[in-house]
Amino acid sequence: MKTLIIGCMLLFLVGCTASSGAIIGAHKYYDNGEYHKSLSKALHAGNKYEYSDESAAELDYIVAESYEKLGEINKSQAMYKYIVDKYPETKFGCLARAVLQEK
């Protein structure tokens, strides 16, 4: 029984590490100006892992920023609106709201 519990905990931790690693990877691509890669990484991670609202909003924010840098303004605006609607109480919901108010 003890081995089963430890095994489950390890699987949980590996899943958490992989999902947070995907966010870090998406940020890294974005910071390096590789917007197609950051977009792809964020979209893939969002579909592959379960996230808290804050982390999901962060991934969606990377998507919105990447679209903006790629000149896909309509998609970017739609994504910012989605973040505001779906995650209004998160840090990224507030950031998205501020971006929309600037434009």
pLDDT value of residue 62: 97
pLDDT value of residue 2: 43
pLDDT value of residue 46: 85
pLDDT value of residue 20: 77
- Where residue 71 falls (left for φ over 0; alpha for ψ -120 to 50; beta otherwise) is left
Q: What is the pLDDT of residues 41-73, one digit of tens each?
A: 999 998 888 899 999 999 999 999 999 999 999
- What domains, with CATH codes, occur in the chain? 2-102 (1.25.40.10)
Cβ-contact 69, 34 below 8 angstroms: no
**Which residues, including other chains, have CB under 8 Å from residue 60's CB and lie 6 or more apart?**
42, 46, 79, 82, 83, 86, 87, 92
pTM: 0.80
Annotate 82-103 with DSSP letters as a single string. HHHHH-TTSHHHHHHHHHHHH-
**Does residue 13 carry a pLDDT above 90?**
no
